[in-house]
Amino acid sequence: MTEKAAEKKDKKVITDLESFGAGVLKQIEKKQDPRIEMPVRTLSNIYFDQKSKTIKLGDKTSFRNFLNIAHTRKFMQTMLVASEIKKVIQQEATVSIRDLYYALKHTIEGTNENTFEDQSESDPVIEDLEAATNLLREELHLSASSKGVVAGDLKIKDGNDTIDLTRMGSGGWGVPSNVEPERIEFKDMAAEYVLFIEKDAVWKRFNEDRFWKKNKCIIITGRGQPSRAERRLVQRLNMEHNLPVYALMDADPWGMYIYSVIKQGSISLSYSEEKLATPVTKYIGLTTQDVEQYKIPKEVTIKLNQLDIKRLNEMAGYEWFKKKEWQEEFANMKQKAVKLELEALSKKGIRFITEEYLPDKIRRKDFLP
Amino acid sequence: MTEKAAEKKDKKVITDLESFGAGVLKQIEKKQDPRIEMPVRTLSNIYFDQKSKTIKLGDKTSFRNFLNIAHTRKFMQTMLVASEIKKVIQQEATVSIRDLYYALKHTIEGTNENTFEDQSESDPVIEDLEAATNLLREELHLSASSKGVVAGDLKIKDGNDTIDLTRMGSGGWGVPSNVEPERIEFKDMAAEYVLFIEKDAVWKRFNEDRFWKKNKCIIITGRGQPSRAERRLVQRLNMEHNLPVYALMDADPWGMYIYSVIKQGSISLSYSEEKLATPVTKYIGLTTQDVEQYKIPKEVTIKLNQLDIKRLNEMAGYEWFKKKEWQEEFANMKQKAVKLELEALSKKGIRFITEEYLPDKIRRKDFLP
């Protein structure tokens, strides 16, 4: 079933790409200056959408004209990328964006001009196409990096393999770069929520303690800033199985920023956030307010530095952090002038985080919105 | 069986730690200045061992005396770390080195003195203990980071779980931080060699093409510089199943350096390299000599920069790169003044690397030593 769904999706994407090319061809046949329409991806066209609660790209577009000398190079590059993507899909392969760059790089015959000088020229063109076609990079058979692992109370059907995420030992399943429904299906879901853990070392603590088993949940980490795949996977778990999502981060501006990316997205991926962000996500910890609540000794907190304070002030101004609870947390952090890492809870005992802190937080519903 | 082996190993480690503590106690009871003996871990005591073909720590030692004011702090820290490790093992847990730091950090009663100021104080003490006890960090129940994935023609027994590495879909199994024989057993080995791939994106190409199935091998990546766990896993596959190991890296000084770490180890881990390095590893590619052999277009090569040339000159002087074949490759790279990435092979076709390049290299036994 998944295989057929994948085939169907691929056919649709190829049709989209062909009609994109056919539009240009028609203009040429009519002896018009061929032009393509692309969404504007600058800050002026990016906004926080109150309805979907995600960062979004607006509907401003601009044209790329072949006969405008300022556009010619980019026009050529857009055509090359679109045609290579079609080829990749037809060969039933997935390639990295670096592969794509190399595959397309060549010196144009009779000139000294290269199609692309380096990857910083091909990447934005790919993003343009994603935005223009409203398709995820993964649907275009381009693989983004993915570095996270997942374990928990469900099975994953991936091609002909069924992966039992309750039987991954101490390892966990490496999240692949494409987790679209045509590729990845969920089976035997017995989990009741998703725990998104910032750090790999903390994920290992939760996995070693079989937290996901005792607490019927799924534990996932993106090992720092998560990749698209971890975010998309969590979004699907939320949307398709109605699972609540809790984020467990360091109590510092960086951890809180990662949380905001999981929840409503980032500016740089605004054109895909509707398919990546999970707006129901709640921040379960750490907070600087936990320091009193859980009697965490002062010695394991870390003094805020100038950069932290600057970041904190910026974040306090973001629309999605305007809620009272967040403003209070930011104020508390600034007033105490400390931050703390998840590992600091080890001071209270090796398994304090899995056996006391987290269960207590969930029981008391002590989340930030 | 594994569980019992793990228990036995743990008991032995605890006995070792206890006798380490008892030695100090005995000195105190005799009213001697308590002292501990530690291997010297500076460059002067590190060498390339021609017999084992790995980087090794020599047998120089030094003493840490409690009543020598220059040693007192470190002496105290060593005792704290050793006693915490014993506690961790007794609780059947594994913790990260950051957890350990936080668990031990406190202000000493009646003073303003902290046991540790930051993790840069506790990490070297852990390394001292590893070197002194001749135990791997993993055997001390400390988890190092691990970020790689593996797939291939074998099964892994990890605790009560049996993980079939032929059924990992597009993901792969996330390599856990502890892959010691007490934890991880190999079952149903049908692979004939190990392919150690530098880059995750290239690993994904090999996995998507089911290379490990068609070629009866195991594919593993450490996603850049591999962690201890990936290296240890490969060493065990080589030692216990006599599998040859081939490394597939970018043709640049960085890729070649990573290869040398896989093969004979690094200076910073000299005290553990006998258990981490895999001296039989062969370098299968890329080389700058492949450019002619496989007619790789010049446009996808990259000009060497100053740093590359400096690194190349340094590496040409290393004992383990003295072999003729390496000196030739370095000379060729310098003469052509280019490097190239694995993804550059995409220029020859999406699956050129898995269907032509690698099988041809193996058939022709075209390796660097």
Tell me if B204 and A96 make a contact (CB, 8 A cut-off): yes
Beta bridge partner(s), residue A185: A157
Tell me if B176 and A176 make a contact (CB, 8 A cut-off): no
* DSSP-H helix ranges across chain B: 2-29, 72-90, 97-104, 119-133, 200-208, 211-214, 228-241, 253-264, 273-276, 290-293, 306-316, 324-336, 352, 358-363
Chain A, window 308-327: residues with a beta carbon less than 8 angstroms from a chain B beta carbon: none
Question: What chain A residue is nearest to B162 in terms of C-alpha separation?
Answer: A167
Q: Which of A106, A167, A300 has its CB closest to that of B105? A: A300
**Which residues, including other chains, have CB under 8 Å from residue B46's CB and lie 6 or more apart?**
B55, B56, B57, B58, B267, B270
Q: Which two tokens stand for residue A298?
A: 């002062």
Q: Cα–Cα distances in Å, from B33 out to A331, B16, B21?
A: 51, 22, 14
Alpha-carbon distance A193 to nearest alpha carbon in chain B (angstroms): 22
Residues of A within 8 A of B92 (CB-CB) are: none
CA distance A22 to A18: 6
Tell me if A163 and B168 make a contact (CB, 8 A cut-off): yes
How many residues are present in chain B? 369
Q: Across all residues in chain B, what is the average pLDDT?
A: 95
**Which residues, including other chains, have CB under 8 Å from residue B24's CB and lie 6 or more apart?**
B34, B36, B79
CA distance A288 to B35: 41
Tell me if A163 and B172 make a contact (CB, 8 A cut-off): no
Angle at A21 between CA A16 and CA A23, to 5 degrees: 95
Which pLDDT band, with edges at 50, 70 and 90, does B336 fall under?
very high
Residues of B within 8 A of A346 (CB-CB) are: 95, 99-100, 102-103
Q: Give percent above pLDDT 90 in chain B.
A: 95
Q: Which two tokens stand for residue B314?
A: 């340094």
> Closest Cα to residue A152, out of A139, A136, A165, A168?
A165
Q: What is the pLDDT of residue A5?
A: 85
How many residues are present in chain A? 369
With a cut of 70, which residues of chain A have pLDDT below it? 1-2
C-alpha of A152 from chain center: 20
Residues of A within 8 A of B94 (CB-CB) are: 204, 208
Chain B, window 103-142: residues with a beta carbon less than 8 angstroms from a chain A beta carbon: 103, 105-107, 114
**Which residues, including other chains, have CB under 8 Å from residue B346's CB and lie 6 or more apart?**
A95, A99, A100, A102, A103, B352, B353
CA distance B279 to A3: 43
Q: Which of B98, B162, B175 has its CB closest to that of A171? A: B175
Q: What is the pLDDT of residue B6?
A: 87
Q: Which two tokens stand for residue A16?
A: 């989209």
Q: Which two tokens stand for residue A18?
A: 């062909």
Q: Which of A146, A158, A171 has its CB closest to that of B158? A: A171
H or E, element range at B276: helix B273-276
Q: Which of B343, B345, B353, B354 to mutate to test the interface with A (most CBs of A within 10 A)?
A: B343
Q: Which two tokens stand for residue A258?
A: 């990662």
Q: Which of A105, A163, A344 has its CB closest to that of B299? A: A105
Strand pairing category for B193-197 and B245-248: parallel
Tell me if B99 and A158 make a contact (CB, 8 A cut-off): no
Alpha-carbon distance B113 to nearest alpha carbon in chain A (angstroms): 11
Alpha-carbon distance A51 to nearest alpha carbon in chain B (angstroms): 34
**Cis link prior to B25 (omega < 30° from 0)?**
no
Tell me if A98 and B341 make a contact (CB, 8 A cut-off): yes
Q: Which residue has the tokens 């090359």?
A: A80
Residue A110, class by beta-carbon neighbours within 10 Å (0-12 exposed, 13-18 middle, 19+ buried)?
exposed
CA distance A347 to B236: 35
Alpha-carbon distance A298 to nearest alpha carbon in chain B (angstroms): 9
B333 contacts B251 by C-beta, under 8 angstroms = yes
Residues of B within 8 A of A201 (CB-CB) are: 96, 98-99, 143, 145
B251 contacts B286 by C-beta, under 8 angstroms = yes
Tell me if A170 and B163 make a contact (CB, 8 A cut-off): no
Tell me if A169 and B175 make a contact (CB, 8 A cut-off): no
Helix count and strand count (H, E) for chain A: 14, 17
Q: Which of A102, A176, A201 has its CB closest to that of B347? A: A102
Chain B, window 226-245: residues with a beta carbon less than 8 angstroms from a chain A beta carbon: none
Report which residue type is found at A305: N
**Which residues, including other chains, have CB under 8 Å from residue B226's CB and lie 6 or more apart?**
B148, B196, B258, B261, B262
Q: Is A225 on the interface with B (CB under 8 A)?
A: no
State pTM to two decimals.
0.94
Helix count and strand count (H, E) for chain B: 14, 17
Q: Which residue has the tokens 């607490």?
A: A215
Which value does ipTM take for this structure?
0.92
Alpha-carbon distance A100 to nearest alpha carbon in chain B (angstroms): 7
Q: Is B223 on the interface with A (CB under 8 A)?
A: yes
> Closest Cα to residue B156, out of B229, B222, B100, B64?
B229
**Out of B47, B101, B102, B259, which one is annotated catalytic?**
B102
Q: Which two tokens stand for residue A201?
A: 């070392």
Q: Which two tokens stand for residue A65?
A: 């004209």
H or E, element range at A173: strand A173-174
C-alpha of B111 from chain center: 40
DSSP class of residue B340? B
CA distance B152 to B166: 5
**Domains along chain A with CATH numbers:** 2-143 (1.10.10.10), 149-363 (3.40.1360.10)
Q: What is the pLDDT of residue B2?
A: 67
Residues of B within 8 A of A172 (CB-CB) are: 173-174, 176
Alpha-carbon distance B175 to nearest alpha carbon in chain A (angstroms): 5
Q: Which of B94, B156, B184 has its CB closest to that of A208? A: B94
Q: In the annotation, is B283 catalytic?
A: no
B204 contacts A96 by C-beta, under 8 angstroms = yes
Using one digit for the tens of pLDDT, what is the confidence trace for A249-288?
Answer: 999 999 999 999 999 999 999 999 999 999 999 999 999 9
- Region of poorest pLDDT, from A90-104, B2-16, B23-37, B315-329: B2-16
Q: Which two tokens stand for residue B90?
A: 């007794």
Residue B290: pLDDT over 60: yes
Q: Is A53 on the interface with B (CB under 8 A)?
A: no
Strand pairing category for A95-96 and A142-143: parallel
DSSP class of residue B39? E
CA distance A215 to A219: 10
Q: Is B354 on the interface with A (CB under 8 A)?
A: no
Chain B, window 192-211: residues with a beta carbon less than 8 angstroms from a chain A beta carbon: 200-201, 204-205, 208
Q: Which of B208, B343, B350 has its CB closest to that of A98? A: B343
Residue B1: pLDDT over 60: no
**Out of A102, A193, A257, A318, which one is annotated catalytic?**
A102
Q: What is the pLDDT of residue A45?
A: 96
Tell me if A177 and B204 make a contact (CB, 8 A cut-off): yes
Using one digit for the tens of pLDDT, what is the confidence trace for A14-38?
Answer: 999 999 999 999 999 999 999 999 9
